Structure 1
Amino acid sequence: MKFSLLAVGQQFDYEGERYIKSTPLIAHQVDTGEQRLIPRSANVVSTDTPAVAPTPANTRIEADQLQAAFAELEHALHQQLGEEARFVLAFEQARQRFFERLGLTAAVSPRPKDHSSS
């Protein structure tokens, strides 16, 4: 991350040493207290940041919402690409893998009636 993104008082590592940001451009080395001018664009590693960023609460989606959105995607693709047998088969296989990967049962999507004579 960039030095300018750190908050004053936040600890970070820069060029192998640990510092505390004391002003927008100055940091103090933790061990010696020595001041150092750090460029705003310097790449630093924050030691206060958790290793894994927490997932925002609003990214969770319910299974029925996911299935509805997928059905809309499927409908739009069928309108654009038609009912060519090769596309339909490839899409069905991809759809099955998609929902299996998520551990969900895919809702049956409505299919346009096939009026072709076979």
Structure 2
Amino acid sequence: MKFSLLAVGQQFEYQGESYIKSTPLIAHQVDTGEQRLIPRSANVVSADAPVEAQPLGDSDIEAEQLRDAFAELEQTLHQQLGNDAHFVRAFEQARQRFFERLGLAAVPVSPRAKDHSPS
């Protein structure tokens, strides 16, 4: 998660050390109390976050259902934001990371999502 999404007072880990967010840009190291400027965009691990993602099990959502739901989300976003070239590039990168993280083959981009002309 991004540092900017943490609430002031929330504990998190950044670069192997534990901190507590004290202002929107500053955190205090838990052990030493030393202040540190943390970029808003820095990736941190919230102390409240689960340590490890749970693998998909038999009772959880099936991979094909996940792919179908993602394709529907993708189509909706492209219909609403597909004319924005920055969005298209950012979404494609996020899409790739999403499926890589889950260890699943990404669904091909739907033909409708690639068509950026107004409907």
- TM-score norm. by structure 2 comes to 0.44
Kindly name which structure, 1 or 2, has the bigger radius of gyration based on alpha carbons. Answer: 1
